[in-house]
Amino acid sequence: MKSFLDEDFLLHSETARALYHDYAARLPVVDFHTHLPPQEIAENRRFSSMTEIWLQGDHYKWRALRALGVDERYITGDATDWEKFEQWAKAVPWVVRNPLYHWTHLELQKPFVEKRLLSPQTARSIYDGCNALLQEKYSTQGLLEYYNVETVCTTDDPCDDLAYHIARRKTPGGARMLPTFRPDRALEIDRPNEFIAYVERLESVENVRIQHYEDFLSALLKRHDFFHTQGCRVADHGLQQFYQEEFSPTELRAVFAKARNRAPLTPEETRQFKMDALHQIARWNQAKGWVQQYHLGALRNNNTRQLNRLGRDSGYDSIGDFPQVAGLAHFLDRLEKEGALAKTIVYPINPSDFEAFATMMGNFHETGVPGKMQLGAAWWFLDQKDGIQKQLDALSNMGLLSQFVGMVADSRSFLSFSRHEYFRRVLCNVFGADVERGELPNDLPHLGNIVENICYHNPRRYFGF
């Protein structure tokens, strides 16, 4: 019987262990998609407690606590930091076989060197010990150094002034922090009040008057230009799906005018606006040599009562089952016909889309650009052992795993860089199992080179970092 979470965790063969320990484990982390607050990196925040760094904003843990019937006061409410941590400690023994059980104890081991299982009996001493280490050595930049993070890309609204990115560049050493252009709010024309407020904010930031659709695009392009001057090389979008919409410039001007005057839009008009705006941004991405990422398929904010109580992004989201493939094909082909298709990564949240997305990306590669079109890493609900393996299998069968750009943290927690280790262990175990079964040659130098590329060299080259 193997010990729980020992040095060979998830590595079930000698080949897997050799690939991980000799090739993957030592590599720096290039994380091209996180939701870490730039201010906390720039100001080198120190957390006062494990609750602040570990439980605040962690939707995975919130959902588990709700499933156990825990009062919301101990999740997003006004309970003390200790009371919230204590509730999580009570919950952990009951989350076995959920990836949270692995992540929780992996994050306690690294960086806190805490090998005890979290439970009501161990909660107080673990809490106090980890808090002390947070105060002594593990500031935000200290954690980036511990996890060997070389580059981290945050997720930033186009109207952000990127002041913390600018300040961080003035401080020598440590992980490089780069912005990502994430214009989701700018495209929410189906939320009239929020959209008008956003247009007004864009007007203020750029000191322009936005009356027409062309004015809107011009102002958004100026923000795109500004992001580029600050080192941004990545655009990112969270979408339910792409659509196959036909429209004219005249129709788009009319749609924008209606929205600007708070007139109700038809679903078709909403789709027309979103698809054209996405197309315009994609053209800017290609012109500047950026990478574009599309996170597709989440069904968000499903619980209306809790949405009204807690606001958006409070852990009430799910995997959606939207039609995806035809709209994605239409979007990519339209750009390809114009010679305006940038490097592209798509992340399906529904695992049933893995194979379809992998085959679709294979339709649009380009001479001289290895791995131009990417099936992205297992995302959100899928970034656990089973989901990672499914994504790796789909990419292997329908594309080229050797060209994959690897894992992202996709998290607001500085402890979530441990997911790169988790991914690397699963990746090495997949290769190791194939070798042990005689399905791949026992050529450790070659396979080790592929593992190193996926974990580090491929994303570094792909993004030009």
288-314 mean pLDDT? 94
What's the whole-model pTM score?
0.97
Burial of 267 (0-12, 13-18, 19+ CB in 10 A): exposed
Nearest residue to 81 (alpha-carbon basis) of 123, 116, 140: 123
Q: What is the pLDDT of residues 367-392, one digit of tens each?
A: 999 999 999 999 999 999 999 999 99
Kindly give, in sequence order, each residue whose CB lies less than 8 Å from that of residue 100, ignoring residues fewer than 6 positions away: 60, 61, 64, 92
Q: Give yes or no for residue 172 having a pLDDT over 90.
A: no
> What is the separation of C-alpha 328 from the centre of its chain, rounded to a whole number of angstroms?
20
> Using CA atoms, how far apart are residues 370 and 424, in angstroms rounded to an integer?
22
Q: Give yes or no for residue 254 having a pLDDT over 90.
A: yes
Query: If you write DSSP's letter for every residue of 305-368 in order, what string do you get?
Result: HHHHHH-SSSS--EE-----HHHHHHHHHHHHHTT---EEEEEESSGGGHHHHHHHHTTS-BTT
Q: What is the pLDDT of residues 82-128, one digit of tens each?
A: 999 999 999 999 999 999 999 999 999 999 999 999 999 999 999 99
Collapse the DSSP code of 378 into the 3-class scheme (helix H, G, I; strand E, B; otherwise coil) and give the result. coil
189-193, 203-207, 228-232, 421-425, range with the lowest pLDDT: 189-193
> Using CA atoms, how far apart are residues 38 and 153, in angstroms rounded to an integer?
9
CB 38 within 8 A of CB 156: yes
Q: Give yes or no for residue 246 having a pLDDT over 90.
A: no
Residue that the structure tokens 């609204």 belong to: 157
Q: What is the pLDDT of residues 403-443, one digit of tens each?
A: 999 999 998 899 999 999 999 999 999 999 999 999 999 99
Report percent pLDDT > 90 for the chain: 96
CA-only gyration radius of the chain, Å: 23
Q: How many CA atoms lie within 13 A of 94 on its CB side?
A: 14
What is the model's pLDDT at position 127? 98
Kindly give, in sequence order, each residue whose CB lies less than 8 Å from that of residue 389, ignoring residues fewer than 6 positions away: 426, 430
Strand partners, 373: 344
Q: Give yes or no for residue 462 having a pLDDT over 90.
A: yes
> Using CA atoms, how far apart are residues 340 and 336, in angstroms rounded to an integer?
6
> Which DSSP category does 369 fall into?
B
346-370 mean pLDDT? 98
Classify strands 234-239 and 291-296 as parallel, antiparallel or unpaired.
parallel
333-355 mean pLDDT? 98
Residue that the structure tokens 């570094």 belong to: 460
CA dihedral 192, 197, 202, 203 (to 10 degrees): 110
Query: If you write DSSP's letter for every residue of 379-437 in order, what string do you get?
Result: -GGG-SHHHHHHHHHHHHHHS-GGG-------SS-GGGGHHHHHHHHHHHHHHHHHHHT
Classify strands 176-178 and 343-348 as parallel, antiparallel or unpaired.
unpaired
CB 286 within 8 A of CB 205: no
316-337 mean pLDDT? 97
What is the model's pLDDT at position 121? 98
Which secondary-structure segment (H or E) carries 82?
helix 81-91
304-333 mean pLDDT? 94
CB 318 within 8 A of CB 302: yes
235-259 mean pLDDT? 94
> Using CA atoms, how far apart are residues 198 and 185, in angstroms rounded to an integer?
7
Other residues' Cβ atoms within 10 Å of the Cβ of residue 327: 20
Q: What is the pLDDT of residues 2-55, one digit of tens each?
A: 999 999 999 999 999 999 999 999 999 999 999 999 999 999 999 999 999 999
Which secondary-structure segment (H or E) carries 64?
helix 59-67
Q: Give yes or no for residue 293 having a pLDDT over 90.
A: yes
> Using CA atoms, how far apart are residues 399 and 359, in angstroms rounded to an integer?
7
Q: Give yes or no for residue 80 having a pLDDT over 90.
A: yes
Kindly give, in sequence order, each residue whose CB lies less than 8 Å from that of residue 135, ignoring residues fewer than 6 positions away: 46, 48
